[in-house]
Structure 1
Amino acid sequence: MSVPTRALMVTACLVAAAGCAGTTDATRPAGTGNRTSSDVPSHSAPAGSAQPVPPARRAESVVTPRRPTRVRLPSGRVVPVSGAGTTGSGVLDVPDDVDVAGWWRGGSRVGDPFGSILVAAHVDSDSEGLGPFAELLAVREGARVRLAADGLGQDFEVRSRRLVPQGSLVDEGWIYDAGGAVRLTLVTCAPPYDASRGGYQKLAVVTAVPVGPPEES
C-alpha cells in the first residue's frame, strides 16, 4: 500500500547496519602501506625448482548468490518478489501491489552463507483486499517455503512466528541482520488495526531455516 500509516517501518539504523555488511575490496595487511621494494625480503628459489600452479576452480558445492525473484508460500501460492529499498524516513518501500513481495536489497540473497533474507509484503489493501502474505498470520512451525532466484532455489522450514510492534526496529536487529546463520525472514502487517493510531499496530515476523543447500535449476 502507498498509505504511509500502513507501511512497514524500518528505521535508518537498518540501512546503516546493511552498509557495514556490504562487500568491500580486499584491504592491504597492516604495516605494508608504505614499503618500497627494498623493504621486502627477497627469497630466491633454486633454479629449476619452480612448479606450475594449476588454475583455481570453484568448488561444485559453491553457488553464486542471486537475488530472490519469487517465493512459494506453505499454501503453494507463488508470489513474485521485486527488489525493495528504504525511503528517506527509513520506511521499507514494499510494493504497493499486495500480490507482489519486496526483497530488501541490503540483506542476504539466495545462496549467501550468512544473514537474513528479508522478504516483506502488505497483508491487505483497501482496493485489493487480503494479499497472499495474510496466510503468514496463521502459519505453523514446520511449514515449508521455497525461495527461488533465476536458476537457483532453496527450501526453508518455518521455525517461529513472532509479533513485534510497528515502528522502530532498532531493538529487532535479528529481522534484518546480515550476520549469523542464513535464514529466510518473511514480514507482513498484523492486527490489531487502529485507524486512529496509524493502522496496523503489529508486524508478523516468520523465521524459516534452510532444509538443504541451494540448488541450481
Structure 2
Amino acid sequence: MSLRTPALMISACLVAATGCVGSTGAARPDDSGTRLSQSPSSTPSSSSAEPVLPARRAESVVAPRRPVRATLPSGRVVPVSGAGTTGTGVLDVPDDVDVAGWWRGGSRIGDPFGSILVAAHVDSDSEGLGPFAELLTVREGARVRLEAHGLRQDFEVRSRRLVPQGSLVDDAWIYDAAGDLRLTLVTCAPPYDASRGGYQNLAVVTARPLGPPEAA
C-alpha cells in the first residue's frame, strides 16, 4: 500500500513529509515609539562597550533527541530505528514487524512543536501480526511512552482515525512539522484487497504529551 503527498509517498504502512521554518528580523522601536538607530554619534566607544558573552543553552531547555523505543498501551516495547525515504519518496519502514521507523524529517523528543511520526507494519506473511496491530483498537486515554537515549516523554492517546490510502493533501496534520507537539503512530488498516494493492486504509493514532520530557 502507499500513501502520497504532493512531494512524498509513504508506503508499507506509512508516511513522509517535509517542512520549513523561516524567520525575519525588524528594527525594534524604543519606549518612546521612535526607531532606534546607530550613528557615529550614538555608537558607544569600544572602551565603554561591555564584552559579549557566548550564547549558552538554558538549563531548562532540553536538547532534542530522536526516539529509540516506544512502549505501547499494552506494555509491549517496540524498538524504533531511523527511517529515511527512497529515491521515489517512499518512507523506508523496517521490514521487521517488531521494529518501528521514526521519520528523520519529523520532530523529536524535546522539540517544541510538530509531529513525531512513528510507523510500523501491521503484519507480515512470515511473522504474523506485529505489535502495532493494537493501534487498530486502541482507545482514547491510553498511554504511550517514547524514549530516547537519556530522555523519555509520556503521551496520551487523543484520537484514532482511518485514513484512506492515497494523497495526503487534506491530511497534512499527520506529518506537518508545525502545530502543537504530538506523537503520530501509523500502521496499515483493513480492508485488505490484494487486487488493489493490499490494505486500503491507514490507522492514524494521535497522542499529546502529558508533560515535558524527563531524564531517563
- Name the TM-score, length of structure 1 as normaliser: 0.82
The alignment's C-alpha RMSD in Å is 2.5
Q: Percent identity?
A: 78
Alignment of 1:70-81 (within 5 A): 70-81=69-80
**2:19·2:176 contact (CA, 8 Å) conserved in 1?**
no
Counterpart Cα distance in 2 of 1:127 and 1:213:
39
Alignment-derived partner of residue 36 in structure 1: none
Counterpart Cα distance in 2 of 1:50 and 1:116:
44
Deviation at 1:167, TM superposition (A): 1.7
Give 1:188's aligned amino acid: T
- 1:67 to 2:66 alignment: yes
Deviation at 1:11, TM superposition (A): 3.0
Deviation at 1:168, TM superposition (A): 1.7
- Per-residue displacement from partner, 1:192-216 (whole Å, max 9, x unpaired)? 0011111000000000000000112
Q: Is there any run of 5+ residues in structure 1 with no aligned partner, and where?
A: 1-5, 32-39
**2:115·2:176 contact (CA, 8 Å) conserved in 1?**
yes
- Name the TM-score, length of structure 2 as normaliser: 0.83
Alignment-derived partner of residue 18 in structure 1: 18
Q: Work out the number of aligned pairs and report it.
A: 199
Give 2:39's aligned amino acid: P
Alignment of 1:95-174 (within 5 A): 95-174=94-173
Higher mean Cα deviation, 59-68 or 137-146?
59-68
Give 1:41's aligned amino acid: S
Counterpart Cα distance in 1 of 2:45 and 2:192:
78
Give 1:186's aligned amino acid: L
Alignment-derived partner of residue 3 in structure 2: 9
Counterpart Cα distance in 2 of 1:44 and 1:186:
55
Counterpart Cα distance in 2 of 1:133 and 1:194:
20
Alignment of 1:76-87 (within 5 A): 76-87=75-86
**2:84·2:91 contact (CA, 8 Å) conserved in 1?**
yes
**1:66·1:149 contact (CA, 8 Å) conserved in 2?**
yes
**2:107·2:116 contact (CA, 8 Å) conserved in 1?**
yes
Deviation at 1:50, TM superposition (A): 4.0
Q: Which stretches of structure 1, 4 residues or longer, exceed 6 Å deviation after superposition?
A: none
Counterpart Cα distance in 2 of 1:10 and 1:104:
15
C-alpha distance 17-124 of structure 1, shift in aligned 2 (>3 A): closer
- Per-residue displacement from partner, 1:126-179 (whole Å, max 9, x unpaired)? 000000000000000000001111111100000000000012212210000000
**1:12·1:89 contact (CA, 8 Å) conserved in 2?**
no
Residue 9 of structure 1 aligns to a residue whose secondary structure is strand
- 1:190 to 2:189 alignment: yes
Q: Is there any run of 5+ residues in structure 2 with no aligned partner, and where?
A: 10-15, 28-37
**2:19·2:177 contact (CA, 8 Å) conserved in 1?**
no
Alignment-derived partner of residue 35 in structure 2: none
Alignment-derived partner of residue 37 in structure 1: none
